[in-house]
A and B are shown apart, each in its own frame.
Chain A
Amino acid sequence: MRLLSFLFLLLVFNFNFALASSGNATNPTSALHPKQQKWQFDGIFGKFDKASAQRGYQVYKEVCSACHGLKLLSYRNLATIGFSEPEIKQIASEYLITDGPNDDGEMFERAGLPSDKMAGPYPNEQAARSANGGAYPPDLSLIVKARHDGANYVYSLLTGYQQAPDGFELASGKNYHPYFEGRQISMPPPLVEDGQLEYKDGTYATKEQMAIDVVNFLQFAAEPETEHRKKMGVRTMLFLLILFVLLLIAKKAVWRNVK
């Protein structure tokens, strides 16, 4: 039965980790497997790189948010990556939010509050498509969780644009991208040059730096609970491990008189 136990473990892990990747370099239209980066939020002791995530917010705001919404987040959530309350109030107040109706039955605009959901660039999907040649820039709130190997995928997407190889038929308005399924993407390269923006903390904004920062930010956006969850996990697992050993000793003691 020992063999069976081994097989059973195989059964459980097989489905989840085998065949996770569909990356195939030989097929000219299937996507490459994402470039692998080390992230500070990975692993069981993972934490947000808050400085990087804050810079990432700046990249999102100045670059991505021209086309992509972040509608599942409220401004107040930014506290998780270290923004202070006055900073959050300041950030929120820069947006106009449509509220109402008021007592006269009119909708009105007011400055954003920390409790508001983040304002998106388009009022609806049709407006978004119309402004982007028919393509729909997806909301980024969950993008890291909604793609296989999401953090590395977003990183690869931002840094992996290439010239189309000879003979590759590119549809009009599309860009060649080996990490995107079908290898043609509507999004033009968003990070075009080093120093594209000026970071508030003085870090030099290379393309690489901006890509890493925005991934750190989007990881937070997708799983704001990451740090809390992992910290709770380490404690719970330690507790369970000790409990397991104690119970095993107790079990052996109780069973000693079974002859």
Chain B
Amino acid sequence: MTNHNDPNQELQDFHKIHLDSEPNQSKATAWLNSRLPILSTLENTLKKHPYPKNLSYWWNFGSIAGIALLVQILSGLFLAMHYVPNTKLAFESVEHIMRDVNYGWLIRYIHAVGASMFFVALYAHITRGLYYGSYRAPREVLWWVGIIIFLLTMATAFMGYVLPWGQMSFWGATVITNLFSAIPVVGQSIVTWLWGGYSVDNPTLNRFFVLHFLMPFVIVGIVLLHLVALHQTGSNNPSGVPMKSKSDAIPFHPYFTIKDLVGFVAFFLVFGYFLFFYPNALGHPDNYIPANPMVTPAHIVPEWYFLPFYAILRAVPDKLGGVLMMFGAIALLFFLPYLDKSPVRSGAYRPLFKKFFYLFILNFIFLGWLGKAPAEGWYILASRLSTLYYYAYFLLVLPMLPKFEKTLPLPQSIDQHYKQNH
């Protein structure tokens, strides 16, 4: 049996695989390619570049997140043509879009529901990576770039939620920006600098709008880096066994073009269900009350996609401690390639890992539920225990598990794995 654990060997094997394709030989193509290799790059990516043939539908979420990003950029562009970033006008300008702009309600609901759908795709994509060990060598950098995309997307979504200038916009912005005041010595100065004043006010709204418009384009740039890294290492696959020969691989086109289309339409079906029938189910009703600095809502709750991290923040009695634990929960992901010490990459062949992994996912869902509950009574204790398990999964379970775990036999190759399952 060959060694599956040498990343250098894996990369060498991967780069030796060349799929046959008949390149377009026309004169015009050759002329252009010799000056700008755009068509040849496309040709390489779609026809020559090898993809594991055993990828499951879990591998659809990357391209789905990509299309979700495009939907946000396009719908956002049209919203920005009508939106006014001013505390006196913002709320009514959104209602103007909803009521007076042709199909404005459609564009705005696409953007609002689309943000949630983007996070559905991101969470699914990350979950797949966690289960199949996609973060492990030689894909560390690919994984890191992905986490940066996740972080930037969270920042962008947060600023976007402030723009309608409803009650949750204002109070969410106040709570989250105030987190920086926990930084010793310079905290308060940083918060004042972020606000552009002494409270969340017009300068804050105006700069959040500018940054919310800018960031998606930065994200697109980093997504391109994510793709470059992906092409350098090749895709992971459900067996976790590296690609070794042509028999393991298929080209992107037509196999994954058609499969991605299936994924897109399935995604749009879920998207459409919320968009057309329950457009406000994923938001908070308080955000249809105009922002009022004099009235604090009974419960300040962030959007659903932040709730697990919000629960971690509130689980810690100390403000700075809470902030550190919350950001630490994401920072941990960066160390993941070095924390998982198992000789086997894919969770599918790790019976003990599976149990802890499912518990981790359940625990994360439970944290989200706790994030929505008031911070009182038994919820606090539960949040602390859940936070503890979240950390223990990364810092104890993943490093220690290989000492106790008897893994299942791996397939000889991707080819064999595919044939076993089809």
Q: Chain A interface: which of B16-24, B208-216, B255-263?
A: B255-263
Instruction: Check B277–A146 contact: CB distance below 8 A.
Output: no
Whether a CB of chain A sits under 8 angstroms from the CB of B381 is no
Known A1-B348, A7-B365, A18-B369: A229·B288 in contact at CB below 8 Å? no
The number of residues on chain A lying at the interface, defined by a beta carbon within 8 Å of a beta carbon of chain B, is 49
| Partner of A147 from B281, B282, B285, B418 at Cβ < 8 Å | B285
Known A11-B368, A14-B365, A237-B272: A4·B358 in contact at CB below 8 Å? yes
CB distance from A150 to the nearest CB of B (A): 7
- Indicate with 1 or 0, residue by residue over B265-304, a CB within 8 angstroms of chain A CB atoms: 1101100110111011110011011000000001000001
Whether a CB of chain A sits under 8 angstroms from the CB of B307 is yes
Instruction: Check B123–A11 contact: CB distance below 8 A.
Output: yes
**A residues neighboring B (CB under 8 Å):** 1, 3-4, 7-8, 10-12, 14-19, 44, 72-73, 77, 138, 141-142, 145-148, 150, 181, 222, 224-225, 229-230, 232-234, 236-237, 240-241, 243-244, 247-248, 250-251, 254-255, 258-259
Instruction: Check A229–B307 contact: CB distance below 8 A.
Output: no
Known A8-B127, A72-B95: A3·B276 in contact at CB below 8 Å? no
Instruction: Check B265–A244 contact: CB distance below 8 A.
Output: yes
| Partner of A15 from B258, B269, B304 at Cβ < 8 Å | B304
Whether a CB of chain A sits under 8 angstroms from the CB of B79 is no
CB distance from B19 to the nearest CB of A (A): 13
A232→B275 CA distance, assembly (Å): 10
Residues in B neighbouring A254, C-beta threshold 8 A: 254-255, 258
CB distance from B160 to the nearest CB of A (A): 18
A168→B265 CA distance, assembly (Å): 56
Known A1-B131, A7-B358, A251-B259: A72·B265 in contact at CB below 8 Å? no
Residues in B neighbouring A148, C-beta threshold 8 A: 285
CB distance from B353 to the nearest CB of A (A): 12
Whether a CB of chain A sits under 8 angstroms from the CB of B244 is no
**What 9 pairs between A and B have smallest CB-CB spacing?**
A233-B276, A15-B304, A146-B288, A225-B105, A145-B288, A142-B288, A244-B265, A251-B258, A11-B365
Known A1-B56, A77-B99, A224-B99: A240·B268 in contact at CB below 8 Å? yes
Instruction: Check B365–A258 contact: CB distance below 8 A.
Output: no
Residues in A neighbouring B56, C-beta threshold 8 A: 1
A151→B220 CA distance, assembly (Å): 41
Instruction: Check A247–B131 contact: CB distance below 8 A.
Output: no
Instruction: Check A248–B262 contact: CB distance below 8 A.
Output: yes
CB distance from B269 to the nearest CB of A (A): 5
| Partner of B53 from A4, A73, A258 at Cβ < 8 Å | A258
| Partner of B131 from A4, A233, A243 at Cβ < 8 Å | A4
> Can you sample 7 A-B contacts with CB below 8 Å?
A1-B58, A7-B361, A8-B127, A11-B123, A14-B369, A254-B255, A259-B419
Residues in B neighbouring A14, C-beta threshold 8 A: 365, 368-369
B287-336 contacts to A, CB under 8 A, are 288-289, 298, 304-305, 307
Residues in A neighbouring B152, C-beta threshold 8 A: none
A148→B286 CA distance, assembly (Å): 8
Instruction: Check B272–A233 contact: CB distance below 8 A.
Output: yes
Residues in A neighbouring B53, C-beta threshold 8 A: 258
Instruction: Check B289–A229 contact: CB distance below 8 A.
Output: no
Residues in A neighbouring B358, C-beta threshold 8 A: 3-4, 7
Known A11-B123, A44-B277: A146·B258 in contact at CB below 8 Å? no
**A3-B358, A10-B365 given. 19 additional CB < 8 A pairs?**
A4-B131, A4-B361, A11-B123, A14-B365, A14-B368, A15-B304, A142-B289, A146-B289, A147-B285, A225-B98, A234-B276, A237-B276, A240-B265, A244-B265, A244-B266, A251-B259, A251-B261, A258-B255, A258-B418
| Partner of B373 from A19, A234, A259 at Cβ < 8 Å | A19
Which A residue sits closest to B277, measured CB to CB?
A44
Instruction: Check B124–A244 contact: CB distance below 8 A.
Output: no
Residues in A neighbouring B273, C-beta threshold 8 A: 237
B382-396 contacts to A, CB under 8 A, are none
Residues in B neighbouring A44, C-beta threshold 8 A: 276-277
Which B residue sits closest to A233, measured CB to CB?
B276
Residues in B neighbouring A229, C-beta threshold 8 A: 105-106, 109, 276, 279
Instruction: Check A16–B269 contact: CB distance below 8 A.
Output: no
Instruction: Check A240–B272 contact: CB distance below 8 A.
Output: yes
Instruction: Check A244–B285 contact: CB distance below 8 A.
Output: no
Whether a CB of chain A sits under 8 angstroms from the CB of B42 is no
| Partner of A244 from B269, B298, B361 at Cβ < 8 Å | B269
Whether a CB of chain A sits under 8 angstroms from the CB of B71 is no
A11→B120 CA distance, assembly (Å): 9
A177→B272 CA distance, assembly (Å): 38
Whether a CB of chain A sits under 8 angstroms from the CB of B246 is no
| Partner of A19 from B289, B364, B372, B419 at Cβ < 8 Å | B372
Instruction: Check A19–B369 contact: CB distance below 8 A.
Output: yes
Whether a CB of chain A sits under 8 angstroms from the CB of B250 is yes
Residues in A neighbouring B250, C-beta threshold 8 A: 258
A250→B372 CA distance, assembly (Å): 43
Instruction: Check A16–B131 contact: CB distance below 8 A.
Output: no
A255→B92 CA distance, assembly (Å): 51
| Partner of B262 from A18, A234, A237, A251 at Cβ < 8 Å | A251
Residues in A neighbouring B276, C-beta threshold 8 A: 44, 229-230, 232-234, 236-237
A4→B277 CA distance, assembly (Å): 27
Residues in A neighbouring B361, C-beta threshold 8 A: 4, 7-8, 11
Residues in A neighbouring B123, C-beta threshold 8 A: 8, 11
Residues in B neighbouring A181, C-beta threshold 8 A: 298
Residues in B neighbouring A248, C-beta threshold 8 A: 262
Known A146-B286, A147-B285, A229-B105: A240·B269 in contact at CB below 8 Å? yes
Whether a CB of chain A sits under 8 angstroms from the CB of B362 is yes
Residues in A neighbouring B255, C-beta threshold 8 A: 254-255, 258
A15→B309 CA distance, assembly (Å): 13
Residues in A neighbouring B269, C-beta threshold 8 A: 237, 240-241, 244
A138→B285 CA distance, assembly (Å): 15
B90-133 contacts to A, CB under 8 A, are 92, 95, 98-99, 105-106, 109, 120, 123-124, 127, 131
